[in-house]
Structure 1
């Protein structure tokens, strides 16, 4: 196991029990069986470690859910598959889920809050695209933003049941139940509260696309850090496609698939899929 990965995994165990603030670098190194010097060769500070852990899990989580929503062939089962994947991921990474829920409720660290808001907005966009795909425009046009927040509320509250109260998790039953509840809200709600204008007051619009310039900057940084590989060649071709589109859609989709599971390319792959609408 690589040293960085070891430190992250052992730190998660301590953070889940004690929280970020109460866990020291000394405790982490003792738990890992390494020296402080070895720790600082991997991470400049505890904060850098915390953000590395958040990025590692959250970009994987948001990217996988977004990929599921975008590539689902059967819209009829999409909502069920969405809820199932969400709670299955929480179940697999329960320690990390506990950390996020605890820290978001009590953290005063501005960098942490901004980091979590960033991933929260990414998930908002994925849920909005799913809502617009699942329901006819005339059904949810006025209440689609409320529906996004209702779905997020279901995820937050039900995840706490099995993370903190040890409620047995039947993924199939839970997913069916939440599909039924979401459909009832979508098809029977008529009074909107959250409007696009209200959303714009506390952040960028959910349906605002990422810019080409933002992606190009991330790609350039990624190319500097990558070794020669199929993933690097694919990223170079995707950069060229951004600058001058010439490739068939199927080729672009294949290039995106080449980089999707590369640990350093998760965020770039995710943003490129949004940009190319795939």
Structure 2
């Protein structure tokens, strides 16, 4: 991203948070940057396209911060707590912008913005699913993982609303540990339960059709995340080969299929394996 583009986005985020989207003009944005309108239109065709860029900039900033934790030597439980704590901190840091998005009724939710919001929700859900598998993959509750994820998302969203809209001081580390312990309680209950799950594989597959399809960049990022978590050298080598192959202008499908075969016995990598298979089936079609 070019420096001028970044400067316009940051000015837009600041003014949207202070004044609201509708009350902020392009002229005010460029004035705060010391630029001309012509410079603005070199990067953005409208204020609406700047809003989408602001969405992406905020999310990518949070994403980058969360990804930075993956280089640390943490257990799955420590990683989950750290990621959840950082998520709350980032949301609190940007809450004025989020409040503006929530309260202002005139914000244009065009298909591109709506699709990006669905993508954010899907990526967060996938991240939670990976964390749950890493922490509880040995508890023999495979058929309950989707329900566990949905309950976790509901708990987190309820506390996020509290962080954003209520003027309360919350210790985010303490809150993250508290949430994890409540998930422990749920897992204990699931290990003793004979009930049928609400969210089956078929239901989740149908729901996934509503989410934007991953891009090549999304897939490479997920492979790199998995590589940072990898403990076995053969899996790390497999992931390296996948990155190298997918980044090619013309990836060789047989090579990718061969590498994916090496992941079939890795429970925490099944979501990634399915994502890659789906992407290349779509490209092939």
State the TM-score, normalizing by the size of structure 1.
0.66
Q: Which moved more, 1:193-202 or 1:66-75?
A: 66-75
**Separation in structure 1 between the aligned mates of residue 210 and residue 134 of structure 2, nearest angstrom:** 18
**Separation in structure 2 between the aligned mates of residue 136 and residue 77 of structure 1, nearest angstrom:** 16
**Residue 247 of structure 2: aligned partner:** 239
**Separation in structure 1 between the aligned mates of residue 45 and residue 244 of structure 2, nearest angstrom:** 30
Cα gap change, 1:216 to 1:95, in 2 (>3 Å):
closer
Structure 2 residue runs of 5 or longer lacking an equivalent are 221-242, 257-271, 277-285
**Residue 79 of structure 2: aligned partner:** 78
Structure 1 residue runs of 5 or longer lacking an equivalent are 220-234, 246-270
**Residue 204 of structure 2: aligned partner:** 199
**Separation in structure 2 between the aligned mates of residue 158 and residue 184 of structure 1, nearest angstrom:** 18
The answer as to whether partners of 2:95 and 2:164 remain within 8 angstroms in 1 is yes
**Separation in structure 1 between the aligned mates of residue 101 and residue 183 of structure 2, nearest angstrom:** 24
1:39 corresponds to 2:37: no
The answer as to whether partners of 2:216 and 2:246 remain within 8 angstroms in 1 is no
**Separation in structure 1 between the aligned mates of residue 38 and residue 108 of structure 2, nearest angstrom:** 28
Question: Aligned ranges for residues 1-278 of structure 1 at < 5 Å?
Answer: 2-62=3-63, 64-65=65-66, 68=69, 73-99=74-100, 101-102=102-103, 108-136=109-137, 138-189=139-190, 190=193, 191=195, 192-204=197-209, 214-215=215-216, 239-240=247-248, 243=252
**Separation in structure 2 between the aligned mates of residue 216 and residue 173 of structure 1, nearest angstrom:** 35
Corresponding residue SS for 2:216:
helix
**Separation in structure 1 between the aligned mates of residue 61 and residue 159 of structure 2, nearest angstrom:** 21
State the TM-score, normalizing by the size of structure 2.
0.65
Deviations 1:147-194 (A, max 9, x none): 212222222221221222121131221112111112212221444322
Cα gap change, 1:119 to 1:76, in 2 (>3 Å):
closer
Give how far 1:23 is off: 3.6
Count of aligned pairs: 231
Give how far 1:83 is off: 1.4
Give how far 1:128 is off: 0.9
Corresponding residue SS for 1:158:
helix
Corresponding residue SS for 1:44:
coil
Q: Which moved more, 1:171-180 or 1:10-19?
A: 10-19
Q: Which moved more, 1:142-151 or 1:10-19?
A: 10-19
What do you get for the CA RMSD once the two structures are aligned? 4.0
